[in-house]
A and B are shown apart, each in its own frame.
Chain A
Amino acid sequence: MSDTSEPLSPQVFHLLLALADGPAHGYAIMKRVEHETDGEIRLGPGTLYGAIRRLRSDGLIEEASGGEGGRRQYRLTARGRGALRREAARLARLVSAARSRNLLPERGAR
Chain B
Amino acid sequence: MTALRGRCVRRGVRRGRSLEQAAFAVLLRAYPVSLRAEYEAEMADVFRCMRAEAARNGGIRARFALWLRILADTVRSAPVEQWREHRRHGARAAMAAPAPDVRGATIAGAAVFLLYWLTLAPTVAFWDAGEYITVAHVLGIPHPPGNALFVMVARAWDVLLSPAGWSAALRINVLSALCSALAHAFLFLIIERGLRPAGRTLRRVSGACAVLVSASAFTVWHQSNVNEKVYTLSFLTTALVLWLVLRWRDTRNAKLLVAAAYVTALSATNHLMGVLVVPAVLLFVWRTDRGSLLNRRVLAAAVPAVVLALSAQLFLPIRAAQRPVVNEPDPVCASLFDAAVSIYTNGAARGCPALSDALTRAQYPARSVVRDPNDMSQPRGAALVLSQLVNYAQYFDWQWARSVAGKSPLFGGVRPLFTLLVLVLIALGARTHWRHDRAAALLHGAALFMLSVALVAYLNFRWGYSIAREQFPDPALHEVRERDYFFLIGFSFWGVWAGVGIAALWHAARTRVPAMAGLARLAATPILALALVPLALNWSWASRADDWTARDWAHNVLMSVEPYGVLVTNGDNDSFPLWYLQHVEHVREDVTIVLAPYLGMPHYARQVRDLSRACTEEDDPRADRTRIICQRPFARDSIHPRLLAAWGEVRDPPEDSILPFEDADIDRMAATWFTAEQDLELRAGPLHATITRGTSLTPVDTFVAAIVQSTYGERPIHFMTPSPSVTRLGLAPHTVRTGLTWKLREPDDRGLVPMSPDERASTGAWVDLPLTDTLAREIFIVRGRVADPDRPWVDHANYTIPVQYAIMHYAAARAAELAGDGAAAAWHALRLEAWTAL
- A residues apposed to B, CB below 8 Å: 24-32, 35, 42-50, 52-54, 68-72
Within 8 A of A (CB), among B50-72: 50, 69-70, 72
Contact across chains for A49 and B4 when beta carbons are under 8 A apart: no
Cα separation A35 to B4 with both chains bound (whole Å): 7
Q: How far is the CB of A64 from chain B (nearest CB, A)?
A: 14
15 A-B interface contacts by CB (under 8 A)? A26-B45, A26-B46, A27-B50, A30-B50, A31-B4, A47-B76, A47-B77, A48-B43, A49-B39, A49-B46, A50-B35, A50-B77, A53-B35, A69-B10, A72-B42
Q: Which residues from chain B contact A47 at a C-beta distance below 8 Å? A: 73, 76-77
Shortest Cβ distance from B40 into A: residue: A49
Residue in B8, B9, B10, B46 whose CB lies within 8 Å of A45: B46
B residues 594-653 near A (Cβ < 8 Å) are none
Contact of B6 among A25, A42, A45, A46 (CB under 8 A): A25
Tell me the complex Cα distance, A53–B40, Å: 12
Within 8 A of A (CB), among B62-121: 69-70, 72-74, 76-78, 80-81, 84
Q: Which residue of B lies closest to A30 (CB)?
A: B46
Q: A49-B42, A53-B38 are in contact. Are A69 and B73 (CB under 8 A)?
A: no
In whole Å, how far is B51's beta carbon from the nearest beta carbon of chain A? Answer: 11
Instruction: Report the bound CA distance from A36 to B42 in whole Å.
Output: 22
**CB-contact partner of B39 in A31, A43, A52, under 8 A:** A52
Number of A-B contacts (CB under 8 A): 78
The answer to the question of B3 belonging to the interface, with a C-beta cut-off of 8 Å to chain A, is yes
* Contact B6 A44, beta carbon cutoff 8 Å: no
Do B6 and A31 have beta carbons less than 8 Å apart?
A: yes
A27 vs B10: C-alpha distance when bound (angstroms): 11
Q: Is the CB of B73 within 8 A of A24?
A: no
Tell me whether A44 and B42 are in contact in the complex, defined as CB-CB below 8 angstroms, given that A50-B77, A50-B81 are known contacts: no
A42-B69, A50-B35 known; A27 vs B77 contact (CB < 8 Å): no
Report chain A residues within 8 Å CB of B50: 27, 30, 45
A32 touches B6 (CB 8 A): yes
User: Considering the chains assembled together, what is the distance between the CA atoms of A70 and B43 in angstroms?
Assistant: 14
Query: Chain B residues near A53 (CB, 8 Å)?
Result: 35, 38-39
User: Least Cβ distance of B488 to chain A in Å?
Assistant: 51
Q: Across the interface, name the chain A residue whose C-beta is closest to B8.
A: A27
Minimum Cβ distance to chain A for residue B582 (Å):
70
In the complex, besides A26-B42, A45-B70, A68-B10, 11 extra interface pairs with C-beta distance below 8 angstroms are A24-B6, A26-B43, A28-B7, A29-B6, A45-B47, A46-B77, A47-B73, A53-B39, A54-B84, A70-B10, A71-B45
Shortest beta-carbon distance from A31 to chain B in Å: 4
CA distance A25 to B44 in the complex (A): 13
Q: Tell me if B418 counts as interface (CB < 8 A to partner A).
A: no
A30 touches B10 (CB 8 A): no
Point out residues on B near A: beta carbons under 8 Å. Answer: 3-10, 31, 35, 38-39, 42-43, 45-47, 49-50, 69-70, 72-74, 76-78, 80-81, 84
How far is the CB of A50 from the nearest CB of chain B, in Å? 5
How far, in whole Å, are A69 and B11 apart by their CA atoms in the complex? 9
In chain A, what residue has the closest Cβ to B81? A50
| Residues in B whose Cβ lies below 8 Å from that of A54 | 84
Q: Which residues of A contact B70 (CB under 8 A)?
A: 44-45
Interchain CA distance A29-B50 in the complex, whole Å: 13
Minimum C-beta distance from A41 to chain B (A): 12
A68 to B47 CA separation, bound complex (whole angstroms): 17
CB nearest to A43 among chain B residues: B73
9 closest pairs, A vs B, by CB? A44-B73, A28-B6, A69-B10, A46-B77, A31-B6, A45-B43, A49-B39, A27-B49, A47-B77
Enumerate chain A residues within 8 angstroms of B76, measured Cβ to Cβ.
Answer: 44, 46-47
Q: Which residues of A lie under 8 Å from residue B31 when comparing CB positions?
A: 46, 50
Taking CB atoms, residues of chain A closer than 8 Å to B84 are 50, 54
CA of A96 to CA of B72, assembled, Å: 35
User: What A residues does B73 contact at CB under 8 A?
Assistant: 43-47
Question: A24 to B46, alpha carbons, bound, how many Å?
Answer: 12
> Which residues of A lie under 8 Å from residue B72 when comparing CB positions?
44
Min Cβ gap A96→B in Å is: 30
Check A69/B9 contact, CB under 8 A, given A42-B69, A44-B74: yes
In whole Å, how far is B33's beta carbon from the nearest beta carbon of chain A?
13
Roughly how many angstroms separate A45 CA and B6 CA in the complex, as a whole number?
A: 14
* In contact, B35 and A27 (Cβ under 8 angstroms): no
A27 to B45, CA, bound (A): 8
Q: How far is the CB of A63 from chain B (nearest CB, A)?
A: 11
Contact A49 B6 (CB under 8 A): no
Closest to A57 in B: B88
A44, A50, A52: the one within 8 Å of B80 (CB): A50
Assembled-state Cα–Cα distance A53/B45 (Å): 16
**Distance in angstroms between the alpha carbons of A69 and B72 in the assembled complex:** 29
Closest to A45 in B: B43
Most buried by B among A28, A42, A43: A28
Return the chain B residue nearest A18 by Cβ: B6
Q: Tell whether, in the assembled complex, residue A46 and residue B45 are in contact, meaning their CB atoms are under 8 Å apart.
A: no
With A and B bound together, what is the CA distance between A54 and B49 in angstroms?
23
Most B-side CB within 10 Å, residue of A42, A44, A70, A71: A44
Q: Identify the closest chain B residue to A71 (Cβ).
A: B10
Interchain CA distance A25-B45 in the complex, whole Å: 10
Q: Nearest chain B CB to A10's CB is how many angstroms away?
A: 15
Chain B residues, CB < 8 A from A45: 43, 46-47, 50, 70, 73
| Complex contacts, A27 vs chain B, CB 8 Å | 6, 8, 45-46, 49-50
Q: Are B10 and A31 in contact (CB under 8 A)?
A: no
Cα of A68 to Cα of B8 in the assembled complex, Å:
10
Q: Which of B3, B6, B9, B81 has the most CB of A within 10 A?
A: B6
Q: Which residue of B lies closest to A67 (CB)?
A: B10
Q: Are A49 and B43 in contact (CB under 8 A)?
A: yes
**Closest residue of chain B to A54, judged by CB?**
B84
Q: Are B3 and A31 interface neighbours, CB within 8 A?
A: yes
User: What residues of chain A lie closer than 8 Å to B46, measured between beta carbons?
Assistant: 26-27, 30, 45, 48-49
- A49 partner residues in chain B, CB cutoff 8 A: 35, 39, 42-43, 46
Bound Cα distance from A45 to B71, whole angstroms: 10
Give Cα A54 to B38, complex, Å.
Answer: 12
Q: Measured between C-beta atoms, what is the minimum distance from B717 to chain A in Å?
A: 84
Interface hub of B39, B50, B78 (most chain A Cβ within 10 A) = B39
Chain A residue nearest to B24 in the complex (CB) = A45
Which B residues touch A70, using CB under 8 A? 10
Provide the bound-state CA to CA distance between A48 and B77, in Å.
9
**Are A46 and B42 also in contact (CB < 8 A) when A27-B6, A29-B6 are?**
no
Report the bound CA distance from A26 to B805 in whole Å: 93
Q: Taking the nearest CB of chain A, how far is it from the CB of B657, in angstroms?
A: 78
What's the nearest-Cβ distance from chain A to residue B79, in Å? Answer: 10
A30-B9 contact in complex given A44-B72, A53-B35, C-beta closer than 8 Å:
no
B25 smallest CB distance to A (angstroms) = 11
Q: Please indicate the chain B residues that have their CB under 8 angstroms from the CB of A52 in the complex.
A: 39
| Chain A residues, Cβ within 8 Å of B47 | 45
A46 touches B69 (CB 8 A): no
